[in-house]
């Protein structure tokens, strides 16, 4: 956050900056839910508008030629820290900058960036950090498009990858990282936790410990990036456990109304600065209107996620004991004393509202269940106000080779369910009647 004097020198960008952007009150740090109502924005700089206007403009007028030069020095990377003011909507804009200020609050991050989609965020990060011939180590499974991007598209440029199961032990993680060292420069350690769609947790602290032990004495220390879409930012804060960069599909809980597509990244200024330079080049920034809609959604993020989490706990408790259910992959049901329960205890503050339901049977039974749902909608995605259900093996992960799907537990009887904010009793009734169809 720039101070008042610096913001005034930046021309147009001062319109978004509050005169006194307090994050503390009487020595008490304000909570994210409070800061979402006004952080990063001063109504008096926008005609007194309580909410930020949507700035639908492609370019911004410079205060003078010297200011224009100064801004471009930041945009091009000639001077670190990014632009001091607004330049061009491919680089920045008031709505996007307010959104980024607020997004970083949830995880106490130094900096944040927003993108046109979750995959745009992931692709921009990979392009910023990976060179031809590099090695990527990642947890498995990943979102199918992420696996395609790493394995097939980057593979065209000689990029290799090694993976370890999401629930891998410290020794297994260490062994894979050590093996990767022998293949070339390890550019990035990429995690997804909980994994999509199995809900397996990754031990971020174990990954950080092995990374530091193996690479700390070398010239290049690969950053740890994690897709925290399933739990964050309310139920898991990976930066607190050793991650350097946290990625989000903001389409999901942050947006939360199934009416926009966007992505985000939060982390240190050094890491975010590297990614910002790539975003400036390829133009993957979120548009002003979607940024404005996300500002609306962030105001109710805690309320929506809390309600959905409470609903999920009730639905999973019902499904767990149903005779037509093989098992429920829900973080609230982890076996006491297990490695997954240990990771959950150290990393998480809630079990989330997205889970994997394994029905007795196969594709026929899972399809019959999905087709019979009436309140829950048969659709991909998650984290919305409405309950959604899908069959990952036949839908989101269809492109994953069959043998790999089997090895990762993405089976034909798996249904992924994201619980919304409907009345819990109504959801239970829907699950009950849908199970009768099998």
> Residue 329: which CATH number?
3.90.1150.10
Q: Are 188 and 62 contained in the same domain?
A: no
Q: Please report, in tens digits, the pLDDT of each residue of the chain (438 residues total).
A: 334 333 333 333 444 555 445 688 888 899 999 999 999 999 998 999 999 999 999 999 999 999 999 999 988 888 887 788 999 999 999 999 999 999 999 999 999 999 999 999 999 999 999 999 999 999 999 998 999 999 999 999 999 999 999 999 999 999 999 999 999 999 999 999 999 888 999 999 999 999 999 998 878 999 999 999 999 899 999 999 999 999 999 999 999 999 999 999 999 999 999 999 999 999 999 999 999 999 999 999 999 999 999 999 999 999 999 999 999 999 999 999 999 999 999 999 999 999 999 999 999 999 999 999 999 999 999 999 999 999 999 998 998 889 988 888 899 999 999 999 999 999 999 999 999 999
Is there a domain that residue 368 lies in? yes
Cα–Cα distance for residue pair 160/28, rounded to 1 Å: 48
What element of type H or E holds 179? helix 170-181
Q: Are 64 and 158 contained in the same domain?
A: no
Helix axes 204-215, 170-181, angle to 10 degrees: 40
Is there a domain that residue 296 lies in? no
Per-residue pLDDT at 22? 65
Is there a domain that residue 258 lies in? yes
- Kindly tell me the sign of the dihedral angle through the C-alpha atoms of 122, 421, 294, 350: negative
Q: Are 318 and 208 contained in the same domain?
A: no
Last residue of a domain, one of 286, 315, 337: 286
CA-to-CA separations, 170 to 176, 203, 221, 238, in angstroms, rounded: 10, 8, 19, 17
What element of type H or E holds 277? helix 269-282
Per-residue pLDDT at 384? 97
Output b/e per residue, 95-129; b: 16+ Cβ within 10 A.
Answer: bbbbbbbbbbbbbebebbbbbbbbbbbbbbbbbbb
Q: Are 93 and 116 contained in the same domain?
A: no
Q: Is the link from the previous residue into 410 a cis peptide, with omega within 30 of 0?
A: no
As separate numbers, helices (DSSP H) first and strands (DSSP E) second, the chain gives: 15, 14
Q: Are 261 and 338 contained in the same domain?
A: no
Q: Are 252 and 119 contained in the same domain?
A: yes
Q: Are 253 and 317 contained in the same domain?
A: no
The CATH number of whichever domain residue 136 belongs to comes to 3.40.640.10
Q: Are 313 and 401 contained in the same domain?
A: yes
Is there a domain that residue 295 lies in? no
Last residue of a domain, one of 69, 98, 127: 98
Which residues, including other chains, have CB under 8 Å from residue 3's CB and lie 6 or more apart?
none
Structure-token match 């959801």, residue found:
427
Per-residue pLDDT at 21? 59
Cα–Cα distance for residue pair 240/256, rounded to 1 Å: 24
Which residues, including other chains, have CB under 8 Å from residue 308's CB and lie 6 or more apart?
353, 383, 419, 420, 421
Nearest of 270, 263, 249 to residue 384 by alpha carbon: 249
What element of type H or E holds 187? strand 186-192
Is there a domain that residue 116 lies in? yes
Cα–Cα distance for residue pair 246/243, rounded to 1 Å: 7
Vertex 85 angle, CA 81 and 90, to 5°: 85
Cα–Cα distance for residue pair 281/322, rounded to 1 Å: 53
Q: Are 48 and 161 contained in the same domain?
A: no
Nearest of 98, 13, 435, 152 to residue 296 by alpha carbon: 98
Q: Are 204 and 334 contained in the same domain?
A: no
Per-residue pLDDT at 77? 83
Per-residue pLDDT at 13? 45
Cα–Cα distance for residue pair 398/396, rounded to 1 Å: 6
E strands, 35-145, are 111-115, 135-140
Cα–Cα distance for residue pair 235/309, rounded to 1 Å: 10
Cα–Cα distance for residue pair 340/332, rounded to 1 Å: 11
Look at the chain and report how many structural domains it folds into. 3
Q: Is 164 helix (H, G, I), strand (E, B) or coil?
A: strand
Is there a domain that residue 208 lies in? yes
Is there a domain that residue 291 lies in? no
Q: Are 63 and 207 contained in the same domain?
A: no
Is there a domain that residue 103 lies in? no
Per-residue pLDDT at 3? 41
Q: Are 88 and 203 contained in the same domain?
A: no
Per-residue pLDDT at 1? 37
Domain that holds residue 43: 4-98
Q: Is 433 helix (H, G, I), strand (E, B) or coil?
A: helix
Last residue of a domain, one of 78, 98, 118: 98
Can you read off the two tokens belonging to residue 289?
């209107």
Per-residue pLDDT at 334? 97
DSSP letter, residue 152: I
Per-residue pLDDT at 409? 87
């Amino acid at each position: 956050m720039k101070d008042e004097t610096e913001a005034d020198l930046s021309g147009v960008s001062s319109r978004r900056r509050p005169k006194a952007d307090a994050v503390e009150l009487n020595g008490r740090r304000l909570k994210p839910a409070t800061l979402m109502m006004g952080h990063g924005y001063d109504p008096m700089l926008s005609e007194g508008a309580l909410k930020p206007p949507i700035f639908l403009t492609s370019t911004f007028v410079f205060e003078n030629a010297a200011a224009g030069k100064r801004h471009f020095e930041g945009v091009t990377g000639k001077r670190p820290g990014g632009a001091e003011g607004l330049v061009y909507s491919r680089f920045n804009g008031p709505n996007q900058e307010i959104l980024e200020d607020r997004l970083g609050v949830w995880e106490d991050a130094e900096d944040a960036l927003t993108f046109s989609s979750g995959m745009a965020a992931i692709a921009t990060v990979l392009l910023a950090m990976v060179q031809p011939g590099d090695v990527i180590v990642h947890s498995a499974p990943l979102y199918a498009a992420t696996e395609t991007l790493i394995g097939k598209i980057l593979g065209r440029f000689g990029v290799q990858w090694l993976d370890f199961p999401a629930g891998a032990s410290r020794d297994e993680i260490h062994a894979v990282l050590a093996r990767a060292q022998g293949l070339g420069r390890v550019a990035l350690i990429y995690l997804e936790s909980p994994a999509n769609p199995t809900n397996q947790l990754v031990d971020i602290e174990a990954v950080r410990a092995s990374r530091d032990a193996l690479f700390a004495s070398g010239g290049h220390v690969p950053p740890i990036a994690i897709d925290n879409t399933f739990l964050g930012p309310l139920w898991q804060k990976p930066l607190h456990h050793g991650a350097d960069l946290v990625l989000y599909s903001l389409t999901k809980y942050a947006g939360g109304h199934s009416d926009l597509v966007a992505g985000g990244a939060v982390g240190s200024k050094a890491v975010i600065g590297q990614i910002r330079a790539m975003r400036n080049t390829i133009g993957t920034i979120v548009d002003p209107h979607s940024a404005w809609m996300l500002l609306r959604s962030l105001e109710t993020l805690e309320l929506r996620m809390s309600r959905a989490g409470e609903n999920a706990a009730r639905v999973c408790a019902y499904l767990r004991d149903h005779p037509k259910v093989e098992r429920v992959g829900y973080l609230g049901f982890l076996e006491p004393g297990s490695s997954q329960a240990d990771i959950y205890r150290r990393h998480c503050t809630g079990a989330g509202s997205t889970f994997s339901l394994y029905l007795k049977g196969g594709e026929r039974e899972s399809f019959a269940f999905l087709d019979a749902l009436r309140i829950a909608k048969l659709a991909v995605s998650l984290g919305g106000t409405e309950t959604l259900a899908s069959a990952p093996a036949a839908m989101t992960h269809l492109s994953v080779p069959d043998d790999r799907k089997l090895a990762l537990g993405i089976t034909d009887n798996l249904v992924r369910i994201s619980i919304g904010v409907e009345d819990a009793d109504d959801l239970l009734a829907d699950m009950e009647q849908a199970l009768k169809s099998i």
